[in-house]
Amino acid sequence: MDNFYLIAVLIFIGYFFQKLKVFPEQSPLILNQFIINISLPAMILLQVPKLTFSFDTLIPTVVAWIVMFFSAALVLVLSKVFKWNNEVTGSLMLVSILTNSSIMGVPIINAYLGEEALPYVLIYDQLGTFIAFATYGTFVTAYYSTKGKFCYRVIISKVLVFPPFIALIISLFLLGVNFNSSFTNIIFVLANTLVPVALVAVGLQLQFKVKKEYILPLSISLCIKLIFAPFVAFILCYSFGWLNLAGQVSIFEAGMASMITAGVIASVAGLAPKLSTAIVGYGIIFSFLSTAVIAKLMNLL
Please write the tens of the pLDDT for every residue from 111-123. Answer: 899 989 998 998 9
The whole-angstrom separation of Cα 39 and Cα 198 is: 9
Work out the pLDDT band at 151, boundaries 50, 70, 90: low
The whole-angstrom separation of Cα 81 and Cα 269 is: 24
Work out the pLDDT band at 301, boundaries 50, 70, 90: low
Which domains does the chain show, CATH number per domain?
2-300 (1.20.1530.20)
Task: Tell me if 194 sits within 8 A of 163, measured CB to CB.
Answer: no
Does residue 83 come out as left (phi exceeding 0), alpha (psi in the -120 to 50 range) or beta?
Answer: left
How much is the pLDDT for 198? 76
**In angstroms, what is the C-alpha Rg of the chain?**
18
User: Which one is predicted more confidently, 228 or 276?
Assistant: 228
Task: Tell me if 44 sits within 8 A of 167, measured CB to CB.
Answer: yes
Burial class (CB within 10 angstroms; exposed 0-12, middle 13-18, buried 19+) of 69: middle
Mean pLDDT of the chain: 86
Please say if the pLDDT value at position 39 is more than 80: yes
User: Which one is predicted more confidently, 299 or 3?
Assistant: 299
How much is the pLDDT for 57? 85
Please say if the pLDDT value at position 36 is more than 90: no
How much is the pLDDT for 146? 59
Please say if the pLDDT value at position 182 is more than 70: yes
* Nearest residue to 41 (alpha-carbon basis) of 129, 162, 200: 162
User: Which one is predicted more confidently, 149 or 156?
Assistant: 156
Please write the tens of the pLDDT for every residue from 261-294. Answer: 788 778 777 888 888 888 988 998 899 899 999 9
The whole-angstrom separation of Cα 87 and Cα 103 is: 26
Please write the tens of the pLDDT for every residue from 8-24. Answer: 888 899 999 999 988 89
